[in-house]
Structure 1
Amino acid sequence: MSGDEQLEVLLIEDNPGDARLIEEMLRDAGDLRRRVEGDAASAGGSRIHHETRLSDGLDRLNETGADVLLLDLGLPESTGLETLERVLDATEFVPIVVLTGLRDEGVGIEAVERGAQDYLVKDEVTSDLLVRSIHHAIERNRQERERARRLQQLEALNRLNRVSQDITHAVITTDTREDLERTVCERLVASDAYRFAWIGEVNRSTDEVTPRVSAGVEEGYLDEVTVTLDRESEPEGPGAKAVRTKSVQVVQNLQTDPEFEPWRERAIARDYGSAAAVPIVHEDLFYGILAVYAESPDAFSEPEVEVLGRLGDVIGHAITAVERRDALVSDAALEIEFAVRGAAQELVGLTSDGDAYIDVETVVRSDEGVVAYGRADGVAEGEFRDALERTDAADDFRFLSSDGDELGFELVTDAATSLVTAVATHGGQISSATIADGEFRFVVGFPRGRDKRQLVELVEEHCPGATPRAQRTVQRDDADVETATSVIEDRLTEKQRSAVETAVFAGFFDWPRTSTGEDVADRLGVSPATFTQHLRAAERKLFEALFRDESAEEESAPWTPLESDSGADSASDSGSASDSGSASDSGSASDSSSASDSD
């Protein structure tokens, strides 16, 4: 009821005299609406509708509704509390004031206990008493509706929270991304809050959302409906808008909302009343949308929409976790090479004549930023030092070795922290970087099967000067990856193995140490310097086998051109999460600590 509408009063009374008396009292009450709702209400007056039969009264309620119902319990076709029960069964949240005779006051009290807001004894009613009773009935009804609304919201939030817990559990128990997504849809529908749920991903080649999994009352709906991202082809629906805005989009009434026009007929045929489209996002990667359909209109309250948004984040995080887990056991990875413009120009200039190059072999994250280890060939030490001191790309550096024209170096930079962190967050790593022939290039490895276009956009966002140039698939055969045992047996000399074994079992690596280097050397019958030499050689061979897997290079496919537009299409490398993988965590700072504890 808006501010300028009249108060609609429905009177169901078969006695003409009683009906006329009630109507006169309401007319004498003046501005009934203001008296009922208080001074804040506009002067809208009241309108009385009188019906003599219960069936006619119920028909009017269904057609036009009412703000309050005055109900006589003694009607020709229904008497007593049966009359009230029939009204309660046929209506929802309509405030009812029961009219009784002198001898039926007990019935009036029981009527209130069963759902009426108030009762009046006809022979004792006055104009003020009638207005006060109507006011109380409307107010109590409003409070009941608010309590019911809050209870419904609480139940919905509890359901969604349980679904979130189930998804967290599903990360552990499901094997693939598809199984995880199917669990989400089935769990949402099983809660009885929704009739239908589906998850789809964006097909970049067609600019459409392609369904992956679904659950609930579908009956061919997804076969008949196309969610396109082309805003010129048809009205932008909630799914397309969720993709564009990366926020939850809701249609509270599918029968009236113009944005749902192309799909309205099909949705109504399946008893869908409202819908929500939830983006599935984690960090900077967009995985798709979750679409949820409820039977009733206005089913998605503001708190529920907020929880659905968090649910989309949970699903995105769960998909990332599944893909990272798969990456650890997969035998293949996608590598993309990027050229960088405008970065480290002082270092790039050293290689412009084609006689020198700078090769970064590994990149490690640390508390200070990013630490890069590499070698420079064909560059004089003084010239290289001067370039490093002038460039903004190096916050700190030191030379580790010098062998003729080749310099081993360690470089600390904060400029690449954002890129390295973003790549690692999505299961990837910076495999290498090279400055040669006046150009700076680096290679990023990701688990195969990811959306290549999104990966390229991720790198370009955190490294604005980067342009994709080439791609290849790296195969890692389990037989070619050496285990620690095989390294000890095949690469270590007898003296190196003795030094390592004695150090381990003598407690040299414990903290605090139970044996010093001198103690171990004495046990081996060698000098401390000799022990340190054998230990360092063994450690180097072990860690080289772990971090420099040269066999992967031998099994790699050749580089193929990859342009920033055409090469970013995910169609050629699309696949299930179970087929993707790269040892995504092998380059993390926590796994790349130095051997300082062995000194």
Structure 2
Amino acid sequence: MDGAADHIGERGYEQLRRAAETHRSDLVLRLGAEVGLRPAEMTAVRLADITEFEGHRLLAVRDGNEVVRETYLPDSVEHDIRKYANAAGTDDDEPLVSVSPRRLQMLVSEVADRAADAAPHLQEVSTRDLRWRFAASLLDDGVPPDVVCALGGWDRLTRLEPLLDEPDRETIVAAVDGSDERAAPSESRRALDWITTVSEALAAAATGEAIATAVCDHLTETAGFEFAWLAERTGDGLTLRTTTEISESAVEHQIHEHIESVTAPLDVGEVRVVDDSAGPVALVPLVRENTVSGVIGVGSREGLTDAERAVLSALGVQVGHAQVAAERKRLLLADTVTELEFHCADERTFTAGVSGALQCTVELSGVVPVAGQSLLYYLMVDGASAESVLSYADADDGVTDARLLEEHSDGLLLEVVVTDTPALQLVESGGRVRSVTATDGVATIAVELPSEADIRPTVNAVTDAYPETSLAAKRETERPAETETGFRDRLTDTLSDRQETVLQAAYHSGYFEWPRGSTAEELADSLDVSSPTLHNHLRKAQQKVLTAFFDDRPTEPRQPTDN
């Protein structure tokens, strides 16, 4: 294990704990170095989040109100947590530490300053160093790197690379002949080496096609696998995108021979291995937007090690992220895009169904892709009551949530989470939804795709999944490029002088930082305005900035009076 990455070390950690002058300070050190929590996660710890499993304690780690992972809780740390909660009179469902994450960072710095009197190398210790100590101690105990990642909330195995040693001769020999249990770190190091190389190749690839080619090439050239191929889900089947060291016909034969294993739903993180005439083939889920969108097939002579399974699983997520990022960047920067218009009469889709059932009109105001294979729709509805629309949404299997945001004379504004709509497949294919309107049971969906994209798989996937949907129009659209200066000028034209002044003052005074460098009251005093006036100007200015960024429509022209 590389001691340079773990600045604290076992003895240094003991010195830090001796320098902690309060029970809270010591507990914060332990939550970082023995449980692997970040400062924000420490502030969310509650007694109610501690559970028991087969005689061991686990802690549900929260990001705000959402549980993001479980980690192992040593018995002695649990004892200290309960002791602290009892002394503070904290209820089971109350946060254990009622201070800000920034205050916890400062607390660790204060302890480090005191410890530095006896151990100068501890002077700059931070909460991040505590988490390095956590990872280093687990790796020293032989815990596999992928488990360490899961416990500490690291998203990639490469995060732990600084903590892993280059193997010596004894380790190399032991790993080759399998005579020593120390082979595992060598396997992990090798896997980390090749995934690092693949990651660099993905970063350099600018298109989805280049990403698919890069990952397959490096899996065979760098990682030493026999062959690799990548296929994406289109409708109910798979479309082969690229192959390396294996012919397309051979891959098609593999898919045909193992059709159930290849097409059966893969869970995120699962790596399935099938026995083929060419040898074991690992099926790695390609994950986009937290949804399995395809398969990476990898050939191996002797199956996979645990480290290779873990790294391949992480690679499937990484490739998906790279594809989504490349497609979005290409779409945002494109001067010319392909606009597709679909007509959908499928009542399974909420917009078409509700417009027909309630004889109303529906128009999309905004859309946000969210995790879990769903879209967050913001819909304007005219011609139906809020009660009837929400009742329809509640009975719709393709809607997981709906709520009324506004109700006024010209209609309703609703937020609806939809999971069954052609728009979702279009977004997953790299498209950008431009508009959705629905009336008399027919929804019109307009979406933009990069002009060089092959639209046939996308269109086929939509029409196969929704037979009552058809492609109504296809056109190439020119989009004028806007320079940074042009964007600023356009934004400045929409802001009143007072709004711009307040926004600049808030920015430079640290009002938007966390923790805030200035409070609203302090900022109002500096500008010699009342707090309500400040909030009014600031809210309107923020709205105009966000409108300019998220909305392609021109923002409102400046009014002659300051409102």
User: Normalising TM by the smaller chain, what interval?
Assistant: 0.3 to 0.5
Q: Could you state the TM-score of these two structures normalised by the residue count of structure 2?
A: 0.47
Larger Rg: 1
Choose between structure 1 and 2 for higher RCO, CA contacts under 8 A separated by at least 6 residues.
1
Q: Could you state the TM-score of these two structures normalised by the residue count of structure 1?
A: 0.44
